Amino acid sequence: MDTATFGAGCFWGVEAAFRNIPGVISTTVGYGGGKKENPTYQEVCTDTTGHAELVEVTFDPAKVSYEQLLEVFWQNHDPTTRNRQGPDVGSQYRSVIFYHSPAQEAAARAAKEKLDKSGKFRRPIVTEIAPAPPFYKAEEYHQRYLEKRGLATCHI
């Protein structure tokens, strides 16, 4: 098993985008990239802790590649808006890839460069690519939030 960590706006929709991909073993929503240990949702929402809302994806690389997960990441948010996705504004909603190995870093940087050069977006991609920080699991009511409410996505 391997781990991938992505931030692409509100973690409810990001988790749903990854959860049902064949080869994904589990998804966990949480926080990372900030300066406070074990932050709460309420603290992260103040936009003062520096944390991003994240999804930690545990996957079987024999069934789904990291590059395939990157494709899902790019397709499910706007990587050209800094600290914003749709109506959600703040650094907790930033576009970020936290890598767990040099191979993941190389794949993420190559995918970002290729997409940036493709002309798909009129603005440059602002996605942060950085080493995986400590991951703090979000409160239980956030886990599989949309599924618990009978929703498939929360896209606008």
- Pairing between strand 95-99 and 88-89? unpaired
- Residue 94 tokens read as 């930033």
Reported confidence tier of residue 155, pLDDT bands at 50, 70, 90 = low
Domain extent, residue 135, equals 2-148
For residue 112, give the 3-state DSSP assignment.
helix
What's the domain count of the chain?
1
**The CATH number of the domain where 23 resides is what?**
3.30.1060.10
Tell whether 154 is covered by a domain.
Answer: no
Residue 156 lies in a domain: no
What distance in Å separates the CA atoms of residue 141 and residue 156, rounded to the nearest whole number?
22
Show the tokens assigned to 54.
Answer: 């994240």
Residue 105 in domain: yes
Residue 2 phi/psi, 5° resolution?
-135, 165
Residue 36 lies in a domain: yes
Residue 155 lies in a domain: no
End-to-end CA distance of the chain: 33
What tens digit of pLDDT does each residue of 39-71 get? Answer: 999 999 999 999 999 999 999 999 999 999 999
Q: What is the pLDDT of residues 73-123, one digit of tens each?
A: 999 999 999 999 988 999 999 999 999 999 999 999 999 999 999 999 999
* Residue 123 domain-assigned (yes or no): yes
Render 116-156 in DSSP notation, one character per residue. Answer: HHHTS-SS----EEEE----EEPPGGGTTHHHHTT-S----
Q: Judge whether residue 156 has pLDDT over 50.
A: no
pTM of the full structure: 0.94
Residues with a catalytic annotation lie at 10
Q: Establish if 90 belongs to a structural domain.
A: yes
| Domain presence at residue 141 | yes
Beta-strand relationship, 52-59 and 24-32: antiparallel
Q: Name the band, by pLDDT with cuts 50, 70 and 90, for residue 9.
A: very high
